[in-house]
Every structure is written in C-alpha cells, then in structure tokens.
C-alpha cells in the first residue's frame, strides 16, 4: 500500500503542513535515507563506545556486526558489514533497502565469514523481544491480521509495561529500548553488557520466564498457572493487568457484550453451574442497570462477585483445605485476564543470538510509518495512527524549505534536515530512552577492560 501523503500534519506554530507529493513509499525512500534517517545515532548505539579513542576501544567491533538489507523485490542481502557509521550510511543511501535488519556481532567480520568456517560464530547480541498483535487475533474484536487501532493498542501498552518492569526489577537490566514496529507490534532491545553476552540457553530461559501464555487448547488459551500459587511473572504483572483490563481492554474490545467473544470468555469458568449463575445475575442486572454504565464493566463486576461468592460457599461447606474444588475457582478470574491480556511473545526471536530484528527508524513498506521509539511511562498515550510516515516527513521538509524561502532565503537548512520534522522528537526519545544512559555503561565497560588488561599484565600502570 503506497503512502499517499494525504494526511495533514500541524507544525509547532499550529499551521497546516502541506502534504507530501503523492509518491509511493519505495519512491520516497532515497529522500528519506538522504535527509531523514538518523544513521549516526544508530551507529553510535551499536558501537557501544568502541568508536572512541579509549585505549581499550575495539576498533573492529562495529565491523563485526551483521546488517541485512531487504532490497525491493524481497531480495535479502545478509552478512553486510561496515567499517563505521559513514560506510553504513553510504551503503544505505546507495542501495536504498526497503528494510534494514540488525544481527549479532560475530567473531570476525561477516564479510570474511568464509575464511573462518566453523570458527565464525556470534559472540554478542542484544537480548530482543518481539510482540505482534496478530497473536491476539483470538481475543481482539476490533480487527485481525495487520489491523491496529486505538481499541487494540492497550494490549500492546500493557505488554510493554509488563515486560519492561520485569526486565528491570527481576533481572536488573537498565538499558532497554522499545520500538513501534511500524504496523501492528513492538520490539524490545535490551542493551546492557550482561544481556548482550548471554548465551542462547540463558536467552531462552529469560524468554520462558515471561512465557505464561502457552498457546491454545480446546478453544481456550493455555495459561501457566499451577494451583493457586502465581508464577513470579504473574505476580509482577497482576496490578498492571487488573487496572488495564477494566479501564481499557475490556470496554475497548467489548468482550462481554453478547456474542462469540462473550461465549469464549465464559468457557474459562470451571463448571456449567457457575456459568448459569453468572448468566442469571446478568439478567437481573439488565433490569436495573444504569444505562450510562458500560455493560462490559458492569458484567465483569457481577461475574467477579458470583465467582467470589461461590468460593465463599465452598470454603464454608467443605473447608479451605478442599484444594481440589477451590483451585479452579480461585484461579479462573486470573486465567480470564491473563488469557486475554498477558504479553504473547514470539519466543523464537528471543532464544537465539543470531536472530535478525528490524532496525529502529526503518520505514514499514506497507504502511509508510517510521519505526519510532516508545517510552514505557507514556505508552498508554501512544497513537499508532499519529506515527510519522515517510510522506508526512517529506511534507514537513517542504514546509520548512518554503518557510525559509518566504523569509528571504537567507536562512540555511540544518546539516541534519530531520531536525525540522517530527523525526526530531523520535530521535530525542531515542536519546532519552537509550543513548544517554548507555554512555555511562559504555565508559564503565571500557574501564573494566582496562582493569583486566592491567591485571593480566597487558598494560602498565602510571603512578
């Protein structure tokens, strides 16, 4: 689908920005890469301080990183390697890829892989996660496939918050970048030195720690709950999920309005008697319900009340020790929420060091949207429909040029033209979320290399 450039944008002064020319995404990419793509920032990140003049900086580090270009016609060119940011930028502008994927850092330059045979191995790579709304098609009612809108974005928002919080508080990671995929999902890059050096087995273990959702069986999502004891990941997520479930997800997806979604939700209740009791309570509610209240929320509150009343009855009649009867009841409410709202990871992306993942600031070829960074504290307010497109950004460049011309043509354009567009805020977010904090970690990593070199006698100490 070509980006028509018809959407109007507003500049910082409130004036309408002219629409970009009606050209396809592919036709617009040469200008995008020449004027808008922040290649220097991307390279600064991936160098991890090795582009400095520090004595322990590895001058060949960046050159050992794999880049994969997808050229027009779905031609994949893997194992691209570049000496530095300038070489990467030149290749991008010359080849104009439809997509750029980032791979691992190898033991040698990917361009020389044939010289080393089996000794050519990945040695470092960010821990990455991929979450796609397509995996929620069984629980979202607003659309499926490539669809994304304000109604289903809350599913992505809670996923970002849950995984981000778990990575920070359970695993101690600090340097985490979240990126909108440009269409229907999000990507996460964990950039701490300890994360980048994890072997595949440890990556799989971390991904499995978050993998409470286990697929589908007999029309229901399989959730990794055992008895009444919650998995640590569930305990961490519970507060976020309960709030988001009632406030946004349930009413946005209209899951308890009569229809297939409601019937599917009721299947999580452990017996038909309980389902009948819930339906009866809903009938009573319908005769007295405040018509201004959302039916999804009021029905959920009634469902909760019926389940909790049943738990109370079981405890009173059979005793709290009657584990077999109580366990399904006590976990069914959590199962409903988790089955519909807990993050659904693409596990294979996280498990292997050599897995490719799309670079930030790429342009999605189908939507024309830029893969912009996300900030977890503000992820609820993120609007996927307001993301800059290659067409809207070119329109902003035109508007900036026209404004300079109207002022007499004396003002020179900035050396980085993206600073005159919405890309400026996206790059600023990248700096806030990742680069600023990573700078200190890079310095400490280089300092640690120095201490090791001194300890093994590779460097002398000046007194």
- The CATH number covering residue 189 comes to 3.90.920.10
Domain co-membership, 410 together with 335: no
Please tell me which residue in 3, 101, 132, 445 is annotated as part of the active site: 132
Please tell me which residue in 101, 130, 164, 192 is annotated as part of the active site: 130
Q: Evaluate if residue 15 carries a pLDDT over 60.
A: no
Final residue belonging to a domain, choices 285, 320, 341? 341
Percent of the chain with pLDDT over 70: 90
pLDDT of residue 263: 95
Q: Evaluate if residue 207 carries a pLDDT over 60.
A: yes
Per the structure, how many domains does the chain have? 2
pLDDT in tens, 57-106: 999 999 999 999 999 889 999 999 999 999 999 999 999 999 999 999 99
3 in any annotated domain: no
Domain co-membership, 55 together with 177: yes
Domain co-membership, 246 together with 204: no
**Is residue 130 annotated as part of the catalytic site, yes or no?**
yes
Reported pTM: 0.90
Range in 21-25, 112-116, 188-192, 299-303 the model is least confident about:
21-25
4 in any annotated domain: no
Q: Evaluate if residue 257 carries a pLDDT over 60.
A: yes
Q: What is the mean pLDDT of residues 168-188?
A: 96
pLDDT of residue 80: 97
Domain co-membership, 89 together with 236: no
Final residue belonging to a domain, choices 341, 374, 391? 341
Domain co-membership, 153 together with 172: yes
Confidence of residue 239 (pLDDT cuts 50, 70, 90): confident
- Greater confidence (314 vs 203) lies with 203
**Is residue 90 annotated as part of the catalytic site, yes or no?**
no
Residue from 385, 355, 383 nearest 368 by CA: 385
pLDDT in tens, 102-116: 999 999 999 999 999
Which residue reads 């918050």 in tokens? 161
Domain co-membership, 219 together with 92: no
Domain co-membership, 155 together with 293: no
Q: What is the mean pLDDT of residues 399-411?
A: 83
Domain co-membership, 113 together with 167: yes
Q: What is the mean pLDDT of residues 417-445?
A: 95
Q: What is the mean pLDDT of residues 436-440?
A: 94
Please tell me which residue in 3, 51, 66, 420 is annotated as part of the active site: 66
Final residue belonging to a domain, choices 294, 312, 341? 341
306 in any annotated domain: yes
Q: Evaluate if residue 4 carries a pLDDT over 50.
A: no
Domain co-membership, 281 together with 301: yes
172 in any annotated domain: yes
196 in any annotated domain: yes
94 in any annotated domain: yes
Give yes or no for a contact between 285 and 298, defined as CB atoms under 8 angstroms apart.
yes
**Is residue 66 annotated as part of the catalytic site, yes or no?**
yes
Confidence of residue 156 (pLDDT cuts 50, 70, 90): very high
What range does the domain containing 274 cover? 212-341
2 in any annotated domain: no
Domain co-membership, 51 together with 193: yes
Domain co-membership, 293 together with 399: no
Domain co-membership, 358 together with 415: yes
333 in any annotated domain: yes
């Amino acid at each position: 689908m070509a980006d028509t450039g018809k959407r109007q944008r507003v500049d910082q002064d409130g004036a309408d920005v002219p629409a970009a020319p009606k050209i396809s995404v592919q036709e617009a990419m040469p200008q995008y890469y020449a004027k808008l793509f922040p290649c220097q920032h991307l390279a600064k990140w991936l160098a991890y301080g090795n582009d400095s003049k520090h004595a322990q900086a590895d001058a060949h580090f960046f050159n050992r990183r794999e880049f994969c270009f997808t050229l027009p016609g779905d031609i994949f060119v893997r194992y691209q390697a570049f000496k530095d940011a300038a070489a990467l930028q030149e290749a991008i502008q010359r080849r104009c890829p439809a997509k750029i994927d980032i791979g691992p850092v190898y033991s040698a330059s990917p361009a020389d892989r044939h010289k080393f045979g089996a000794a050519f191995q990945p040695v470092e790579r960010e821990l990455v996660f991929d979450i796609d709304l397509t995996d929620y098609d069984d629980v979202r009612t607003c659309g499926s496939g490539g669809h994304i809108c304000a109604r289903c974005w809350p599913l992505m928002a809670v996923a970002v918050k849950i995984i981000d919080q778990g990575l920070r508080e359970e695993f101690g990671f600090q340097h985490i970048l979240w990126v909108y995929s440009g269409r229907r999902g999000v990507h996460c890059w964990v950039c701490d030195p300890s994360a980048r050096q994890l072997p595949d087995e440890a990556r799989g273990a971390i991904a499995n720690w978050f993998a409470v959702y286990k697929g589908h069986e007999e029309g229901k999502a399989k959730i990794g709950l055992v008895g009444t004891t919650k998995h640590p990941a569930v305990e961490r997520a519970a507060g976020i999920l309960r709030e988001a479930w009632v406030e946004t997800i349930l009413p946005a997806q209209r899951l308890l309005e009569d229809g297939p979604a409601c019937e599917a939700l009721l299947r999580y209740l452990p017996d038909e008697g309980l389902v009948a009791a819930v339906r009866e309570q809903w009938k009573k509610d319908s005769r007295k319900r405040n018509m201004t209240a959302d039916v999804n929320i009021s029905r959920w509150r009634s469902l909760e009340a019926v389940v909790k009343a049943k738990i109370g009855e079981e405890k009173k009649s059979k005793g709290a020790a009657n584990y077999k009867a109580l366990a399904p009841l006590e976990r069914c409410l959590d199962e409903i929420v988790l089955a519909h709202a807990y993050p659904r990871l693409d596990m294979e992306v996280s498990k292997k060091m050599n897995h490719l993942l799309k670079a930030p600031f790429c342009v999605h070829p189908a939507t024309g949207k830029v893969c912009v960074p996300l900030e977890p504290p503000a992820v609820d307010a993120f609007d996927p429909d307001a993301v800059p497109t290659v067409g809207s950004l070119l329109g902003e460049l035109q508007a900036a040029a026209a404004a300079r011309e109207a002022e007499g043509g004396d003002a020179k354009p900035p050396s980085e033209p993206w600073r005159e567009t919405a890309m400026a805020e996206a790059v600023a977010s990248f700096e806030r979320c990742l680069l600023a904090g990573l700078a200190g970690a890079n310095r400490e990593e280089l300092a640690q290399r120095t201490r090791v070199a001194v300890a093994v006698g590779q460097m002398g100490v000046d007194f």
